[in-house]
Amino acid sequence: MRLHGTKCKTWLFIGFLLLGGLFHYFDPTENLFLNSFLFCGRFTIFAGLILFWIQSVRSRLLPTRVRTYMISAGLMMLCLLTVQVFNNRIVGDAVDALGVNRFSRYVYWIPQTMNPALFLMACIRIFRGGYDKEGWNERLLMIPAVILSLMVLTNDLHYLVYYPKAGFPELTIVTGKYSQGLGFYLLYAWIILTFITGLILLFRKTGRRPAKGIALLTGTTLTWLFMLLMNMLVWDWLHVHQPYSTQEINIFGMLSILEICIRNHLIPSNENYIGFFEQLGRPVVITDRNLSPVYRTNREVDARKEDLQASLAQPVYPKEDIRLSGMEIRAGYAFWTEDESELHRENRRLESANELLSEENDLIHAENELKEKKAGMDAQNMVYDRIAAELYPRQKRIESLLESAQPDTEDFRRVLGECCVLNAWCKRKSNLLLLDETALPKRNRELFLALQESARFLKCCGVKAAAVGEETTDFPLAEIHDLYDSFEAIIEDWLPSMRQMAVSLQEDGIRLAVITDRELPLPETILPVEKQISEDTVFLTIRRRKGGKAA
């Protein structure tokens, strides 16, 4: 079942239009009552048709500029029809002192000037696709329309549109008493130019559609032109009263052209509910305002009226897994159902999968934490293994010295002093091994502190020792290790013969001043050592490496 009998309404519209023409054709009779009846009937029919079309446009089209222009054009048509009736039936050719005749004809030009502008504006917007797009604004066309309208309304100041003939001091727009000026022809040029431009745009737009659309537009345009030619050439020549006035032909010709654009789907419309729901592939029912079905798809919507009413506010479930939704449309309401059983099954599967995934994520998180802890412990063990490997020889020697030391002997104090010196090296060496190159400041005291502690414990062996001079250096960590190990190798080898020692830091390494009982050879060291003797003092310089080579 169809919601709207479009063809029926079209033929009914045409029928009333023809009936109005018949009323006009038989209007001039000697019977005043019949004249008034035919006149009122014609005006009522034409005004009703225009109002019906305006309401139809308002309900069928989406709220775009095209709809606004078309509704405004319809209102101007109604205004033109009303002013025409006032001029022809009330004022006529009467001459009045107040100038009502003249000013009513001035006002008559306003809808005649505005209507073509609105028609062209609608055509431009249809040509551009109906919606707002970039480009010049077609509403600027109202400027010349307003200027022309003002030119007519102010005709008494300049007489550009109408001017009185010779012998008539006052302008009265009555046959034989006035002439047309340049403005009159400008008005007609504006009307013709706007209509022709609008039709060209519509033909270009419709030409991209199926052939039926261009045929309808061509037929309607030719009918419009044919009726105008009949009015201007044939009816007067045959001395026959015309069924439609020129303005009525223009009104319904323009209305027909715009209606053809709607029928050709050149304007965004909301009419095709049935086609939409058929393509939707779901059970759909369309009802009137009383919820009585007027259209059903092949698949029924099984729901009570109470459920239909409730679904207009929010979706309801008349049956398990069946979702009923509703919405208001122009003719009434539309309702449709969706089977959500598959969706619910997938949701349950997804919930199960999410639970399993959550458990797996917890396990992965715990595993990653264990791996991080194990990696930290492995890194610590590697550091501790390295420290143990470095310290093992000295610790073994300390253990050997302590086992061989005998209390209450002369060598006991010397052995303990040597153990203290070795233990000081082990402590400082372990501190250096725990340092990281990235954590070591650019300027640091680590090497000086190590030398200072070794010097302090040398006093336990009876050696007067001290670390003096600059305390901070910018040596890399690897060079600090090499310098300290080389220093320790010299101290341990020369310890039995040393009496005094002073150590200081230099830019190129470590500087030692040592006083010994006898001249001693240099032990094997990691870094090169330079030796100088001055009187009874031996000066040693432990050179740091630069770039991996001895300086």
Give the amino acid at 528.
P
Residue with tokens 């919601």, as numbered in its chain: 3
pLDDT score for 548? 37
Is 325 in the same domain as 434? no
In this structure, is residue 192 part of a structural domain?
A: yes
Give the tokens for residue 71: 């509704």
Residue with tokens 């058929």, as numbered in its chain: 278
Is 282 in the same domain as 255? no
User: Which phi and psi angles does 272 have, rounded to 5°?
Assistant: -85, 55
Distance from first CA to last CA of the chain, Å, rounded?
105
Q: In angstroms, rounded to a whole number, what is the distance separating the alpha carbons of residues 282 and 304?
A: 18
Residue 284 CB contacts under 8 Å (≥ 6 apart), including other chains = 277, 295, 296, 297, 301, 334, 335, 336
Residue with tokens 């060598």, as numbered in its chain: 411
Is 399 in the same domain as 411? no
Q: In angstroms, rounded to a whole number, what is the distance separating the alpha carbons of residues 170 and 178?
A: 10
In this structure, is residue 282 part of a structural domain?
A: yes
In this structure, is residue 18 part of a structural domain?
A: no
Whether residue 515 contacts residue 480, with contact meaning beta carbons closer than 8 Å, is answered with no
Give the amino acid at 262.
I
In this structure, is residue 45 part of a structural domain?
A: no
- Average pLDDT on 190-211 reads 89
Summarised one tens digit per residue, pLDDT across range 299-320 is 778 788 888 888 888 888 888 7
Q: Which of 268, 300, 322 is the last residue of a domain?
A: 268
Summarised one tens digit per residue, pLDDT across range 122-134 is 999 888 875 555 5
**Domain housing 386:** 353-404
* Cα diameter, the chain: 165
Give the confidence band of 411 by pLDDT, cuts at 50, 70, 90. low
Is 264 in the same domain as 173? yes
- Average pLDDT on 470-479 reads 85
pLDDT value at 334 more than 80: yes
Is 163 in the same domain as 304? no
Give the tokens for residue 28: 């001039």
Give the amino acid at 243.
P
Domain count, the chain: 4
For the ranges 66-75, 289-298, 305-314, 436-445, the maximum mean pLDDT occurs at 66-75
- Can you state the angle between helices 65-85 and 100-128, rounded to 10 degrees? 160
Is 75 in the same domain as 131? yes
Is 72 in the same domain as 211? yes
Is 284 in the same domain as 371? no
What 3-state class would DSSP assign to 87? helix
Is 522 in the same domain as 488? yes
Task: State whether the Cα torsion 291-292-294-298 is positive or negative.
Answer: positive
Q: Which of 282, 304, 339 is the last residue of a domain?
A: 339
Q: What is the CATH number of the domain that holds 204?
A: 1.20.1070
pLDDT-wise least confident of 26-40, 67-81, 374-388, 533-547: 374-388
Is 380 in the same domain as 420? no
Is 399 in the same domain as 473? no
Q: Which of 268, 301, 329 is the last residue of a domain?
A: 268
pLDDT score for 270? 64
Nearest partner of 503 among 475, 542, 545, 551, judged by Cα: 542
pLDDT score for 469? 85
Q: Would you say the pTM of this structure is higher than 0.85? A: no
Residue with tokens 């030796």, as numbered in its chain: 531
In this structure, is residue 187 part of a structural domain?
A: yes
In this structure, is residue 29 part of a structural domain?
A: no
Give the tokens for residue 289: 């305002």
Whether residue 430 contacts residue 465, with contact meaning beta carbons closer than 8 Å, is answered with no
